[in-house]
Structure 1
Amino acid sequence: MNPTPPEALRPLLAQADVLDHDASLAAQVVPALGRSGVLRVGVPREHGGDGGTTGDALETIASVAAHSLTAAFVFWGQRASIEYLLQSPNAALRALWLPRLLAGEVAGATGLSNAMKFLSGLEALQVQATPEPRPSGAALHRLDGQVPWATNLRPQGFLLAVAVERRDGGPAFIAALPSDRAGLQRSDDLDLIALRGSNTASVRLTRLTLGEADLIASDARAWLPAVRPAFLALQCGLSVGLARASLAAARAQGGPARSVLREPLARVEHGLAEAVAGLKQGLQTGQFAAQPVPLFEHRIALAHLALAAVQLELQASGGRAYHRDAPLGFARRWREAAFLPIVTPSLTQLQAELDKRAAALARDRAAVPAEISGA
């Protein structure tokens, strides 16, 4: 499956270079995604979606990424935020925000990258809650901290998901913070070398008031493993779409490079098809919730395949790739590819987690003979 973006989205995707270079079109991305209907793919019909699977949503993100990684990155942030509400036990919160997210009326900013690293023991949570009981007995928290990097912080309005550590020792939780909540301050856009139309910035929280109605999940450690498969698999759509675009561009080039690169192109195409098939199968079976290692491996493999595809596009294009007036899109795809290894969780963070799990497994295996002999 290799879908094309809907017609309604193509005028925006035709401005891929502008979306990459500056923020002049940033305000248009989320509304365009909403109008096109792509945000409803893989969302159950009873929740306002078009039905289908997470694999269908992955393919839809990939179809956008083949034209603009900036638009696809915003798409991923919006769709991940939608997924959080779909998997939240807080029905009232879902009813309040999900229709607006699906329609592209408000941006969904997924600030849970820190949480995913926290789940793997790679990083402490950067937002803390101080409980302040009210006379009514209802729980109230004051939040302080920061989200150093989040995409889709649309100045016209966003809903930010954050993981919060409780200073009273209770379980960490996941909260939804509207952008107009007192105590929330958005920074200027980060000075990125690419993807500058993605409304990527940081957020500072200072004594922000939070109630039970704002909770996505009351126990982060119990909830995050269930949402992580969609979070990472949808993120993989960025690599899949970019890889397909570069492979197609390389195939379209003529000259002597075409025959020389035939076998390397075939290898990358085959690897890409296998990785996507494996990713979809793991999503379908639910394997990744209990066994995240294959999911991590797919994320790493797909990013490397995208990097290899861009290298092959460069070799196939030759010197033309360095002409600024050449309508190849190569320079943009080169910058986009440089982003894939550092999208949180980054490839180094994922590899560190795989190494840690492998070392723990080796220790467990080594301990078995000693236990048996001492029995």
Structure 2
Amino acid sequence: MDSLALSRIEVADHPAPTIVDEVAGLARRELAPLAPAIDAGSTYPDALLRRFGEIGAWGSHVPQEGPADLRCAIQSIAAIGEVCGATAFMAWCQNTLVWYAANSTNLKLARRFGDGFSSGRVLGGTGLSNPMKSFFGIERLKLKGRKVEGGYVVRGALPWVSNLGPDHFFGTIFEREDEGGGTAKGGPGIVMFLADCSDPAITLQPCKPFLAMDGTGTYGVQFRDVFVPDELILAESAGPFVKKIRAGFILLQAGMALGLIKDCIGIMDEVEPPLGHVNRYLPQQPTQFRELHAEFEKEAMALASDPYNSDDSYWRRVVALRLRLGDASVAAAHAAMLHCGARGYLKSHRAQRRLREAYFVAIVTPATKQLRKMLAGDER
């Protein structure tokens, strides 16, 4: 056999690593040692988030001539989430910011920020917690704006926005005071825009310590008559825009849950040799969660290949999957703690961190109770 044929066989036997492979490797090598400090809030891993961007973690779901595919993005978030739930959350924030810019019809904005966001050179988050709640009658919009020459002036405050820093951006929504606002579902008086954290009229206020996730760059954000130029407007009418991006917004969160559940299965497997003789009496076993994980992953991949699907049945599948993922995250982390016993109760053991992170998956917007409200069709 000639050397060229042999080299082809070697290439076929050893395919180039995928983005997900590279993300998983970087997470194991460099994120794992940082996870306790990120959890404790002493480290915000901005340099590592940029590294993930350099290997393609934030750009795989950018629409190409119409279609979009979220599968690689979800798998990458899951690979990060196997190691650190807080960083998986920041990965979701960054990917969601990319999703906003990639779907905006403001071509100046897309050209200015698209590559910066997707490459990780520019980091940021999503300020849609309050707007998403407002669209379903849970809260009122907290930001107000009025039209001025060349843009808008915005005032108000958001209590929690994550993956932020002094040079970061995030997407959020204000209600126009000069047009009487919009409807609960986001009418013509509801505008979505990019907020620039370097603006001196925007103040990032540190939050009180959380149960977990303190290293996620989470702040309260105050807008004191912030001028938002037209170049930073994602959508003049936020309602149709949010309807377009909402499935992606929620589906990308599946990565956080899939990664966490997989590691909880791993924790249960790790304690099987010393504790299996007594753990077999526990009602929830790793085999059950392996089956659930496979089911969820299959459904997530099916939905993620068609994020612009406007059918109501598709939307309900997205919401139902997200609800089940939140419930299963808490159940898997709870089971992992019980399988570990006293060793999992040590602060040095990741089982207790996983339990705290799991509750975050269940309460981050859209939270379990909002998802149930959405499925019930109650938008009051």
TM-score by length of 1: 0.85
Whether the aligned pair in 2 keeps the contact of 1:275 and 1:298 (CA below 8 Å) is: yes
CA distance in 2, matches of 1:42, 1:356: 29
CA distance in 2, matches of 1:187, 1:348: 27
Whether the aligned pair in 1 keeps the contact of 2:70 and 2:307 (CA below 8 Å) is: no
168-177 vs 251-260, which moves further: 251-260
CA distance in 2, matches of 1:197, 1:267: 32
- The aligned amino acid for 2:36 is D
3-state secondary structure, aligned to 1:39: coil
3-state secondary structure, aligned to 2:224: strand
Residue from 142, 151, 166 that aligns with 2:162 = 151
Residue from 141, 154, 167 that aligns with 1:125 = 141
Distance 1:19 1:240, change over 3 A: same
Whether the aligned pair in 2 keeps the contact of 1:29 and 1:71 (CA below 8 Å) is: no
CA distance in 2, matches of 1:142, 1:34: 32
Distance 1:184 1:8, change over 3 A: same
Query: Match of 2:182?
Result: none
Residue from 225, 236, 246 that aligns with 2:243 = 225
Query: Match of 1:282?
Result: 303
3-state secondary structure, aligned to 1:356: coil
Identity rate, percent: 22
CA distance in 2, matches of 1:164, 1:313: 42
- The aligned amino acid for 1:127 is L
CA distance in 1, matches of 2:121, 2:225: 27
Post-superposition shift, 1:210? Answer: 1.8
Query: Match of 1:320?
Result: 343
3-state secondary structure, aligned to 1:53: coil
3-state secondary structure, aligned to 2:252: helix
Distance 1:286 1:195, change over 3 A: closer
Post-superposition shift, 1:29? Answer: 3.9
Query: Match of 2:225?
Result: 207
238-247 vs 185-194, which moves further: 185-194
How many residues align structurally?
Answer: 348
Query: Match of 1:331?
Result: 352
1:5-44 superposed matches below 5 A? 5-9=23-27, 10-44=29-63
- The aligned amino acid for 1:34 is G
- The aligned amino acid for 1:35 is E
Post-superposition shift, 1:87? Answer: 0.5
What's the C-alpha RMSD, in Å, of the aligned pairs?
A: 2.6
Query: Match of 1:269?
Result: 290
CA distance in 2, matches of 1:120, 1:148: 18
Deviations 1:154-186 (A, max 9, x none): 23x111211111112242110012112242111
Post-superposition shift, 1:295? Answer: 1.3
117-126 vs 106-115, which moves further: 117-126
- The aligned amino acid for 1:238 is M
9-18 vs 90-99, which moves further: 9-18
Structure 2: gaps (5+ residues) = 1-17, 180-187
1:1-375 superposed matches below 5 A? 4=21, 5-9=23-27, 10-44=29-63, 53-132=69-148, 134=149, 139-155=150-166, 157-169=167-179, 170-253=188-271, 254=273, 255=275, 256-260=277-281, 264-286=285-307, 289-291=310-312, 292-325=315-348, 328-357=349-378
